[in-house]
Amino acid sequence: MSEPLGPVDAAQVPRFAGPPTFARLPRRDQVEAVDVAIVGVPFDSGVTYRPGARFGPSALRAASRLLRPYHPPLDVWPFAVQQVADCGDVACNPFDIGEAIAQIEAAADELHGAGARVMALGGDHTIALPLLRSAAKKHGPVALVHFDAHLDTWDAYFGARYTHGTPFRRAVEEGIVDTDRLTHVGIRGPLYAAEDLAEDARLGFGIINTMDVQELGPRGITDRIVERVGDAPLYVSVDIDVLDPAYAPATGTPEAGGLSSRELLAILRGLVGRRLVAADLVEVAPAYDHAEITAIAGAHVIYELVSTMGLEGTV
Amino acid sequence: MSEPLGPVDAAQVPRFAGPPTFARLPRRDQVEAVDVAIVGVPFDSGVTYRPGARFGPSALRAASRLLRPYHPPLDVWPFAVQQVADCGDVACNPFDIGEAIAQIEAAADELHGAGARVMALGGDHTIALPLLRSAAKKHGPVALVHFDAHLDTWDAYFGARYTHGTPFRRAVEEGIVDTDRLTHVGIRGPLYAAEDLAEDARLGFGIINTMDVQELGPRGITDRIVERVGDAPLYVSVDIDVLDPAYAPATGTPEAGGLSSRELLAILRGLVGRRLVAADLVEVAPAYDHAEITAIAGAHVIYELVSTMGLEGTV
Amino acid sequence: MSEPLGPVDAAQVPRFAGPPTFARLPRRDQVEAVDVAIVGVPFDSGVTYRPGARFGPSALRAASRLLRPYHPPLDVWPFAVQQVADCGDVACNPFDIGEAIAQIEAAADELHGAGARVMALGGDHTIALPLLRSAAKKHGPVALVHFDAHLDTWDAYFGARYTHGTPFRRAVEEGIVDTDRLTHVGIRGPLYAAEDLAEDARLGFGIINTMDVQELGPRGITDRIVERVGDAPLYVSVDIDVLDPAYAPATGTPEAGGLSSRELLAILRGLVGRRLVAADLVEVAPAYDHAEITAIAGAHVIYELVSTMGLEGTV
Amino acid sequence: MSEPLGPVDAAQVPRFAGPPTFARLPRRDQVEAVDVAIVGVPFDSGVTYRPGARFGPSALRAASRLLRPYHPPLDVWPFAVQQVADCGDVACNPFDIGEAIAQIEAAADELHGAGARVMALGGDHTIALPLLRSAAKKHGPVALVHFDAHLDTWDAYFGARYTHGTPFRRAVEEGIVDTDRLTHVGIRGPLYAAEDLAEDARLGFGIINTMDVQELGPRGITDRIVERVGDAPLYVSVDIDVLDPAYAPATGTPEAGGLSSRELLAILRGLVGRRLVAADLVEVAPAYDHAEITAIAGAHVIYELVSTMGLEGTV
Amino acid sequence: MSEPLGPVDAAQVPRFAGPPTFARLPRRDQVEAVDVAIVGVPFDSGVTYRPGARFGPSALRAASRLLRPYHPPLDVWPFAVQQVADCGDVACNPFDIGEAIAQIEAAADELHGAGARVMALGGDHTIALPLLRSAAKKHGPVALVHFDAHLDTWDAYFGARYTHGTPFRRAVEEGIVDTDRLTHVGIRGPLYAAEDLAEDARLGFGIINTMDVQELGPRGITDRIVERVGDAPLYVSVDIDVLDPAYAPATGTPEAGGLSSRELLAILRGLVGRRLVAADLVEVAPAYDHAEITAIAGAHVIYELVSTMGLEGTV
Amino acid sequence: MSEPLGPVDAAQVPRFAGPPTFARLPRRDQVEAVDVAIVGVPFDSGVTYRPGARFGPSALRAASRLLRPYHPPLDVWPFAVQQVADCGDVACNPFDIGEAIAQIEAAADELHGAGARVMALGGDHTIALPLLRSAAKKHGPVALVHFDAHLDTWDAYFGARYTHGTPFRRAVEEGIVDTDRLTHVGIRGPLYAAEDLAEDARLGFGIINTMDVQELGPRGITDRIVERVGDAPLYVSVDIDVLDPAYAPATGTPEAGGLSSRELLAILRGLVGRRLVAADLVEVAPAYDHAEITAIAGAHVIYELVSTMGLEGTV
C82-93, pLDDT tens digit by residue?
999 999 999 999
Residue F158 has pLDDT above 60, yes or no: yes
Q: Measure B152 CA to nearest chain D CA, in Å.
A: 26
Residue B313's pLDDT is: 53
Identify which of E45, E93, E158 has the shortest CB distance to residue F93.
E158
Identify which of D14, D61, D89 has the shortest CB distance to residue F91.
D14
Residue E94's pLDDT is: 97
pLDDT, tens digit (0-9, with 9 covering 90-100), for D72-112: 999 999 999 999 999 999 999 999 999 999 999 999 999 99
pLDDT, tens digit (0-9, with 9 covering 90-100), for E19-38: 999 999 999 999 999 999 99
Residue D1's pLDDT is: 54
Residue E313's pLDDT is: 53
pLDDT, tens digit (0-9, with 9 covering 90-100), for E156-176: 999 999 999 999 999 999 999
CB-CB neighbours of F150 under 10 Å: 25
* Mean of all residue pLDDT scores within chain A: 96
Residue B308 has pLDDT above 50, yes or no: yes
Cβ distance D256 to B246 less than 8 Å, yes or no, reads: no
CB-CB neighbours of C115 under 10 Å: 12
Cβ distance A17 to E62 less than 8 Å, yes or no, reads: no
- Contact list in A for residue E16 (CB cut-off 8 A) is 42, 54-55, 58
pLDDT, tens digit (0-9, with 9 covering 90-100), for B267-302: 999 999 999 999 999 999 999 999 999 999 999 999
Residue D2's pLDDT is: 74
**Residue F211, helix vs strand vs coil:** helix
pLDDT, tens digit (0-9, with 9 covering 90-100), for F18-44: 999 999 999 999 999 999 999 999 999
Give C2's DSSP letter. P
Which of B38, B58, B103, B127 best tests the C interface by mutation, with the highest count of C CBs <10 A?
B58
* Mean of all residue pLDDT scores within chain F: 96
Phi and psi based region of residue E88 (left: phi greater than 0; alpha: psi -120 to 50; beta: remaining): left
Cβ distance F158 to E96 less than 8 Å, yes or no, reads: yes
CB-CB neighbours of A9 under 10 Å: 12
Amino acid letter for position A63? A
Strand partners, F146: F184, F237
Yes or no: say if E209 and E170 are a contact pair by the CB < 8 Å rule: no
Residue F95 has pLDDT above 90, yes or no: yes
Cβ distance B159 to A93 less than 8 Å, yes or no, reads: yes
Alpha-carbon span E138 to E49, nearest angstrom: 34
Alpha-carbon span F170 to F160, nearest angstrom: 12
Whole-complex ipTM: 0.96
Angle at A276 between CA A273 and CA A280, to 5 degrees: 135
Q: pLDDT above 90 covers what percent of chain E? A: 98
Q: Measure F114 CA to nearest chain A CA, in Å.
A: 40
Cβ distance A46 to B95 less than 8 Å, yes or no, reads: yes
Alpha-carbon span C195 to C209, nearest angstrom: 17
Identify which of A14, A40, A55 has the shortest CB distance to residue E94.
A14
Q: What are phi and psi of D195, to 5 degrees?
A: -60, -30
Q: Measuring CA to CA, which residue among C138, C129, C123 is closest to residue C98?
A: C129
**pTM for the predicted model, two decimal places:** 0.98
Buried b (16+ CB within 10 A) or exposed e, D226-251: bebbeebbbbbbbbbbbbbbbbbbbb
Identify which of E69, E261, E262 has the shortest CB distance to residue B190.
E69
- How buried is residue F206: exposed, middle or buried, by Cβ count under 10 Å (0-12/13-18/19+)? middle
User: What are the angstrom distances between the C-alpha of D266 and each of A183, B115, B214, D74, F158?
Assistant: 66, 49, 19, 11, 48
pLDDT, tens digit (0-9, with 9 covering 90-100), for D25-65: 999 999 999 999 999 999 999 999 999 999 999 999 999 99
CA neighbours closer than 13 Å in the CB half-sphere of residue B97: 23
- A251 shares contact with chain F (CB less than 8 Å): no
pLDDT, tens digit (0-9, with 9 covering 90-100), for C104-141: 999 999 999 999 999 999 999 999 999 999 999 999 99
Residue F93 has pLDDT above 60, yes or no: yes
Amino acid letter for position E52? G
**Residue in C closest to D286 by C-alpha:** C287
CB-CB neighbours of F41 under 10 Å: 32
Structure confidence at residue E2 as a pLDDT band (50, 70, 90): confident
Strand partners, F76: F71
DSSP C22-47: GGGPPBGGGSS--SEEEEEE---TT-
Q: In what order do the strands lie in the sheet with D142-147?
A: D84-89, D36-41, D117-122, D275-282, D233-239, D142-147, D177-187, D205-209
- A57 shares contact with chain E (CB less than 8 Å): yes
**Residue F246, helix vs strand vs coil:** coil
Identify which of B11, B219, B265 has the shortest CB distance to residue D257.
B265
Which of E44, E48, E95 best tests the F interface by mutation, with the highest count of F CBs <10 A?
E95
Where does E131-261 show beta strands of DSSP type E?
Answer: 142-147, 177-187, 205-209, 233-239
Yes or no: say if D155 and D169 are a contact pair by the CB < 8 Å rule: yes
The whole-number average pLDDT for the span E272-285 is 97
Cβ distance C254 to F72 less than 8 Å, yes or no, reads: no
Structure confidence at residue D314 as a pLDDT band (50, 70, 90): very low
Which of A207, A208, A244, A247 best tests the C interface by mutation, with the highest count of C CBs <10 A?
A244
Alpha-carbon span F258 to F245, nearest angstrom: 7
Helix (H) or strand (E) holding E220: helix E210-229
* Mean of all residue pLDDT scores within chain C: 96
Determine the CATH number of domain A22-314: 3.40.800.10
Helix (H) or strand (E) holding A186: strand A177-187
Alpha-carbon span F80 to A219, nearest angstrom: 46
Buried b (16+ CB within 10 A) or exposed e, A268-290: bbbbbebbbbbbbbbbbbbbbbb
Residue A1's pLDDT is: 54
Residue D271 has pLDDT above 70, yes or no: yes
- F257 shares contact with chain C (CB less than 8 Å): no
Alpha-carbon span D59 to D291, nearest angstrom: 11
Residue F314's pLDDT is: 46
Residue D315's pLDDT is: 41
Buried b (16+ CB within 10 A) or exposed e, C15-41: bbbbbbbbbbbbbbeebeebbbbbbbb
Q: What is the sign, positive or negative, of the torsion defined by CA atoms of A223, A228, A233, A239?
A: negative
Cβ distance A292 to F197 less than 8 Å, yes or no, reads: no
Cβ distance F54 to D91 less than 8 Å, yes or no, reads: no
C-D C-beta contacts closer than 8 Å:
58
Non-local CB neighbours of D70 within 8 Å, separated by 6+ positions: D76, D77, E190, E191, E192, E193, E194, E196
User: What are the angstrom distances between the C-alpha of E315 and each of D28, E71, E310, F259, F286?
Assistant: 65, 17, 9, 62, 50
Q: What are phi and psi of D253, to 5 degrees?
A: -140, 70
Alpha-carbon span C25 to C15, nearest angstrom: 12
Strand partners, B234: B143, B276
Q: What is the sign, positive or negative, of the torsion defined by CA atoms of A298, A300, A302, A304?
A: negative
- A261 shares contact with chain F (CB less than 8 Å): yes
Yes or no: say if B239 and B152 are a contact pair by the CB < 8 Å rule: yes
Alpha-carbon span F136 to F149, nearest angstrom: 25
Structure confidence at residue C1 as a pLDDT band (50, 70, 90): low
Alpha-carbon span E136 to D153, nearest angstrom: 62
pLDDT, tens digit (0-9, with 9 covering 90-100), for B30-62: 999 999 999 999 999 999 999 999 999 999 999
Cβ distance D51 to C54 less than 8 Å, yes or no, reads: yes
Residue F2's pLDDT is: 74
Q: Measuring CA to CA, which residue among E219, E74, E259 is closest to residue B216?
A: E219
- Contact list in C for residue F65 (CB cut-off 8 A) is 49
Q: Measure C209 CA to nearest chain F CA, in Å.
A: 10
pLDDT, tens digit (0-9, with 9 covering 90-100), for A72-107: 999 999 999 999 999 999 999 999 999 999 999 999
